[in-house]
Structure 1
Amino acid sequence: MNTSGSSRWLAILTGGLLWLTSTVAAAQNSIESVRAWPSPDKTRIVFDLGQQADYSYFTLYGSDPLRLVIDFNNTALNANLSELGDASLLVNLVRTSSPKKAGDTRIVIELAEKSDPQIFTLPANESYPDRLVVDLPGKSVERSGPAKSIAELKDRKVTIAIDAGHGGDDPGSIGPRGTYEKNVVLKIARALASMINDDPGMQAYLIRSGDYYVDLNERPQKAWQAKADFFVSIHADAFRTPQPRGGSVWVLSKRRADSEVGRWLEGTERKSALLGGAESIIRDTGHEPFLAQTLLDMSMDSSIAGAYSASRHIISEMSRITKMHKTEPQAASFAVLKSPDKPSILVETGFISNPDEERLLNSNGHQQKLARAIYNGVRQYFINNPLDNTLLANQESIEYVVKSGDSLSVLAERYGTTVNAIKRENNLTSSMLRIGQKLTIPR
């Protein structure tokens, strides 16, 4: 046996393996996809990478156009950047430029106005790879449809903050047929906002008016900034098996949920925060630290009591149009319900993981019925618990225009009066109504 020859081949093989190992270790990172999510107050741009980003950035705000420049070290670009700025009022263009050195990628974001960027990395999880998140504060879309800006909200109306769960990078639960929870609940939220805005004594503020993510702790904070009197978060339930079905209404618990479904939902909320880019799950909102602990506890207890009362009204209304998974308000420690200054509830409109309920939740007719049930329940709560100096409390009568599906009995129940009182106020001799007919509805 030629030992010298064997040693030589072993050395060559070992050297080759070492070369291959070092080549793999030095392999470039890569940008695999880029997504942009404009919202009313910021644009979020997310870079999906093969591994954790090694980056630096700087701004060029003394030149035209205004630019944010991000350098990805030792990184290749495998993603399409076209059309990324088309939907944002803040971002005009996302493009590449000559990098500092070979093997790097330089991304240039051209802006319509100056913005103080907030840039952070997120680790890979079961749903997403490593990410670099770029948040650019500034007006990025117009609030459309039933959505109102804070400046458009009027004093003396009861203000309802409506929170459509999930959004943007966080689809929420996904049904067997691929239905995204974030899309269903936004449609229900917008229908609810439209109904509330049609009420002369109420107005709606949509926390999320489009397909973008709002951090969990920003949602109640936005409601506080809008001076909302009530907060309702809308979701579609899910479970690990397809059998559970039915709606439910949740209020804040100061301890962890008792039920298995409640613990499942609490875990889902934490996952939602990570998908959406939140760095923490629970932190104090801006106004809470200024309250003495005793007053805070008293205020929180009052808000929870109000939430329980409103929940019972909503459960009563929902049970008329859909199966209820729970017929009593449920309690869990959800971050979005932790405002001490207003009743806050979370409505699960059904189990999207159940094939039959997924089909119902996709139905516009069912979405409208769910929105109407929530509206009726919230309104009845404020009829029974009127807020001083609000139009809803002070109104002797309401001017109403008849819509499709209305009847005297429905209107009487909705507005806390009687059929005979409406007929008497409007000199009606018949119970028949026509679309477009104007009615005066007495308190």
Structure 2
Amino acid sequence: MLLFLVGADPAMASSVEGVRLWQAPDSLRLVFDLSDGVDHEVFELDDPDRVVVDLEGAELEEALEASTEDTWVEEIRSGRHGDGRLRVVLDMERSVSSKTFLLEPNEEYGHRLVVDLTSESAKEEEQDSLMEVVREAEENQQGENRDLIIAIDAGHGGEDPGARGPSGTHEKDVVMQIARRLEKRVEAAEGMTPLMIRDGDYFVALRDRLRKAREAKADLFVSIHADAFENSRAHGSSVYALSQNGATSEAAKRLAKSENEADLIGGVRLDDKDETLASVLMDLSQTGAIEASLNVGQEVLENMGGVNELHKSDVEQAAFMVLKSPDIPSILVETAFLSNPSEEQRLRSSAHQKKLAASMMSGIRSYFRDNAPPGTVWAEKDFGTAEHVVSNGETLSSIAQDYRVSPGRLRSANGLDDDMLRAGTTLDIPGGS
């Protein structure tokens, strides 16, 4: 528990109105909500490891609290320095380096001071976890051929809640739940390995999402979101790919602008020239990935039409920053409109989340049946060639019996959690046992 106990000086101009901690695998973010900008200094001390934050001319109107549980912070102390500065000291469980920046008010927050703490050992651990996904994909049971790596990106997170529904549902929460359900299906599917880009409630910058997918050599990048619009009657699912030649509609252009502002809300320093140059260079090598993205996006969209109304029947395009990978087919899935009260309630339903994840998985499978990269399990000659479209009254057991495979193998090959089948679903039939 974090507790500030500092007497307020009425002559001071800026007040600390709140504080939040967000722990990611390779970094920790400390955010001060302020009434105005503030001069500040941050430095580290060792033996023991500490981080000191000095705030010039800042006051506290009341005690502030924030949880330090499951973070690198052991304790946070504060007091008034001799020269009048408000000093906050973080007792750390590990050595870290810090960088800090101020953010101007936006639609979500007022003035903020962001303190980002990183650890070299944690960065190495995060890199090891990415490489573990690669190793797992290479060391599948087939021996000679690797698994497909499916990068699953739950949009927003941490400081960036995304859209809010009429009942207060946060986009970052429901898309994480759907992402985990998709992860489970990918993990259960023969010849596939999942990679979760965000595995908890923390902020990941858009370019870092791309970087993680590329470092893990992903074969597909799926970013999951829940749209919002000023008209609460707007409804339906949509799928988007990158465009280099302008948006395909005003709605797509609006959505791309909104999603690209996630970095502003989540908190990213925007004066990094190297990042800007890298973005320009990536734009020059995008054509092949865009074509593949449109193909996989259409497969996913058509399958989602079986569980939710579609907002648009074709994949739309716009300049989404998170889709700008030059070598990975990348799609952004808007599962539904969180701003629509009915769709908000469905998005909160575990049953509907499972259906959405299953429909995305069906689309992914359909795409890779015809477009598997050489050297993968899915590129084997006979893998996934037999298909069966479920008819009314058919059961998993009866279909398994017809094709002389076990129900367990049929369930595993299609990433099914149970034996429930919906008429019209396309099943992959594994080779007989």
Matches within 5 A, 1:270-349: 270-280=260-270, 297=284, 299-349=285-335
Matches within 5 A, 1:170-185: 170-185=160-175
Q: What code does the residue aligned with 1:216 have?
A: L
Larger mean Cα displacement after TM superposition, 279-288 or 370-379:
279-288
Matches within 5 A, 1:6-405: 26-61=11-46, 63-64=47-48, 66-78=49-61, 80=63, 82-88=65-71, 90-102=72-84, 104-138=85-119, 149-153=129-133, 154=136, 155=138, 156-280=146-270, 297=284, 299-394=285-380, 396=382
Aligned to 2:430: 441
Report the CA distance shift for 1:101/1:282 in structure 2 as closer, same or farther (over 3 A): closer
Counterpart of 1:244 in 2: which secondary structure?
coil
CA distance in 1, matches of 2:223, 2:429: 32
Counterpart of 2:260 in 1: which secondary structure?
helix
Q: Which runs of 5+ in 1 are unaligned?
A: 1-22, 399-406, 412-418
Contact residue 239 and residue 264 of structure 1 kept, 8 A: no
Q: How far 1:51 moved relative to its partner?
A: 0.7
CA distance in 2, matches of 1:283, 1:203: 35
Larger mean Cα displacement after TM superposition, 276-285 or 376-385:
276-285
Aligned to 1:426: 405
Report the CA distance shift for 1:348/1:440 in structure 2 as closer, same or farther (over 3 A): closer
Contact residue 236 and residue 348 of structure 1 kept, 8 A: yes
Contact residue 20 and residue 66 of structure 2 kept, 8 A: no
**CA offsets 1:350-404 (integer angstroms, 9 cap, x no match):** 1111111111111111111111111111121111111111122238568xxxxxx
Counterpart of 1:378 in 2: which secondary structure?
helix
Q: What code does the residue aligned with 1:67 have?
A: R
Contact residue 151 and residue 221 of structure 2 kept, 8 A: yes
Contact residue 44 and residue 52 of structure 2 kept, 8 A: yes
Counterpart of 2:261 in 1: which secondary structure?
helix
Report the CA distance shift for 1:237/1:282 in structure 2 as closer, same or farther (over 3 A): farther
Aligned to 2:6: none
Q: What code does the residue aligned with 1:180 have?
A: H
Counterpart of 2:194 in 1: which secondary structure?
strand
Contact residue 185 and residue 234 of structure 1 kept, 8 A: yes
Root-mean-square deviation (Å): 3.4
Q: How far 1:277 moved relative to its partner?
A: 0.3
Q: How far 1:86 moved relative to its partner?
A: 1.1
**CA offsets 1:308-335 (integer angstroms, 9 cap, x no match):** 1101111111011110000101001000
Report the CA distance shift for 1:275/1:290 in structure 2 as closer, same or farther (over 3 A): closer
Counterpart of 1:426 in 2: which secondary structure?
coil
**CA offsets 1:85-125 (integer angstroms, 9 cap, x no match):** 2121x2222221452323x2100112122111111111122
Per the normalisation by structure 2, the TM-score is: 0.81
Q: How far 1:289 moved relative to its partner?
A: 8.1
CA distance in 2, matches of 1:383, 1:205: 20
Contact residue 13 and residue 58 of structure 2 kept, 8 A: yes
Q: How far 1:199 moved relative to its partner?
A: 1.2
Contact residue 234 and residue 347 of structure 1 kept, 8 A: yes
CA distance in 2, matches of 1:231, 1:30: 42
Contact residue 238 and residue 335 of structure 2 kept, 8 A: yes
**CA offsets 1:105-161 (integer angstroms, 9 cap, x no match):** 1001121221111111111223211111011113779x9xxxx93133122110011
Counterpart of 2:179 in 1: which secondary structure?
helix
**CA offsets 1:385-431 (integer angstroms, 9 cap, x no match):** 11111122238568xxxxxxxx97559xxxxxxx9797344389xx9
CA distance in 1, matches of 2:417, 2:252: 45
CA distance in 2, matches of 1:222, 1:213: 14
Q: How far 1:270 moved relative to its partner?
A: 3.4
CA distance in 1, matches of 2:83, 2:68: 26
**CA offsets 1:156-179 (integer angstroms, 9 cap, x no match):** 110011111111111111111111
Report the CA distance shift for 1:387/1:45 in structure 2 as closer, same or farther (over 3 A): same
